[in-house]
Structure formats: structure tokens, C-alpha cells
Chains A and B, each alone.
Chain A
């Protein structure tokens, strides 16, 4: 049962990501990625990580992709032009690279992919709760967590400096 739900969520995630790659309309692309990340959150719940699923919806779909939409509407970008002749060699090389990468990944995974199952029943009831995750992050990863807050502050200042119009000496 869990496997069927997981597989369909994964397939829908991939399909909506492919819709983004194939559509030339930028806003449609962002919205299909939002849908794709919602299905990815469903997959995260089945992998016993409801906290990550929640921040996937709140931070990724809710904040980061809405930021993308803001910028798209601010810049008022038209449809991407269909380009047939500008970079034919790059296009062929890109397609070949993707094909090669997919084949390599599938062979590697079928050769070495662990047959071990993600056992939902085996996971203890507390493994789905937020408290153990918080306890773990704030004990084992306290220094990276604090460094992350400095990084976010630096990103805030950097974004502000990049888009501010005033002349700096």
C-alpha cells in the first residue's frame, strides 16, 4: 500500500518536473514545479519524515517558488523564443549527456542498489515526530545551525546590495 502511494507520488513529481522543462511559458513552469514539490512532500511523509515534508511545503513551495514568481512578474519576461539554429551542436551534446547520465545512473543503481526495504513498521513511533529531529539538530549540528543563520543574514545583505539602485562610492 505504502509502496503504491510512494510510486505514484514519485511518478507525478517527475511528470510535473518534466512539464516545467518542456513548457516555454515561465509562469506555467514555476507553477508546475510547485505541484511537483507538493507530490515530493507526499513522498517524504511516506519516508517517515513529516517535518521535512512540512518545510518542503512551507519553505520550498511557499517561499522559494513564490519568490521565483515575484521575480518573473517583476521582470515581465516574454515567451522564450524557439531557437532552432543558434546552438545545434550544444543541443545534440546536451541530449547525449542526458542520455548517457540516465543510462549510467540506472545501471549503477540496478547493480549496487541495496535491496533493503524502508520499513515503515520498523521505524519507532517517535521517528516520525519533530522532537527527535529538533533534539538531534540542536545537539549534534548546533554549530552548523548557527553558521546557517549567519549565511542567511549574508544572503539577505547580498541580495539587498545587488538590487539597490543607489550609487556606491
Chain B
């Protein structure tokens, strides 16, 4: 596994993955699909962090990604609990049909 990966490849992959996640978050109307797209964007950020960490030869990137993954677990559990409570209340998780706070 000897060889080099240019940092530009890592950053381009990260940017493309982030754009895909952004597209999903903006265009989908299912709340769970939007949440999944946010997870994809978070992973794009993780990829960039690890790329810079490997390029600089320090462990800071790996430590940051470790904390991001742990916080993502907490965020996912609370977010999905909110969706379950919302579904009990309104019988849908389509974000176009939930307009309780909209004028």
C-alpha cells in the first residue's frame, strides 16, 4: 500500500460528497431523507479533516473525526426521537405538510 494520494483528490471528493448531501437536504421532502443528507454532509467534512490530518502527519484530524462521530450518534438519536414524536402528533413526516410554525 505504498503510494501517494494527492490532497486535491481528497478535497475534491469531499466537496462533491458535500454537494450531493446539500442537494438531498434542499430537494427532498421526507424528513428522514433530509436528515440522512445532513449525515452525508457531515461525512464529507470528516473526509476533509482526515485528508488534512494525514497530509500534515498529525493526529488532530483523527481526534476531531472521533468526536464528530460520537456527536453524530447523539444527534441522530435525538433527531429520530423528534421524528417519532412528530409522527404521532401529525401522522406524517413530510416537511411540506408540517407547517405548525409557518405563519
Binding site for B on A (CB under 8 A): 1-3, 6-7, 10-11, 13-14, 17-18, 20-21, 26, 29-30, 33, 36-37, 40, 43-44, 46-49, 51-52, 55-56, 59-60, 63-64, 67-68, 71-72, 74-75, 77, 80-81, 83, 86-87, 91, 94-95, 97-98, 101-102, 105-106, 109-110, 113-123, 127, 132-133, 136-137, 140-141, 144, 148, 151-152, 154-156, 158-160, 162-163
Contacts and interface: CB of A to CB of B under 8 A. Distances in A.
Contacts of B35: 68
A157 to B, nearest CB: 10
B6 to A, nearest CB: 5
Interface of B: 1-13, 15-24, 26-30, 32-33, 35-37, 39-40, 43, 46-47, 50-51, 53-55, 57, 59, 61-63, 65-67, 69-78, 80-85, 87, 93-94, 96
Contacts of A159: 77-78, 80-81
Contacts of B54: 47-49, 118, 123
Nearest to A98: B23
Nearest to B59: A136
A120 B63 contact: no
Contacts of B74: 151-152, 154-155
B66 A137 contact: yes
15 contacts: A3-B9, A7-B13, A21-B28, A30-B32, A60-B69, A64-B76, A75-B84, A81-B94, A94-B26, A114-B55, A115-B8, A118-B6, A133-B59, A140-B63, A160-B81
A108 B91 CA distance: 44
Contacts of A52: 46, 50, 62, 65-66, 69
B7 A113 contact: yes
A31 B95 CA distance: 22
Contacts, number: 247
B24 to A, nearest CB: 4
Contact of A106 (B15, B61, B67): B15
B73 A63 contact: yes
B78 A158 contact: yes
A129 to B, nearest CB: 11
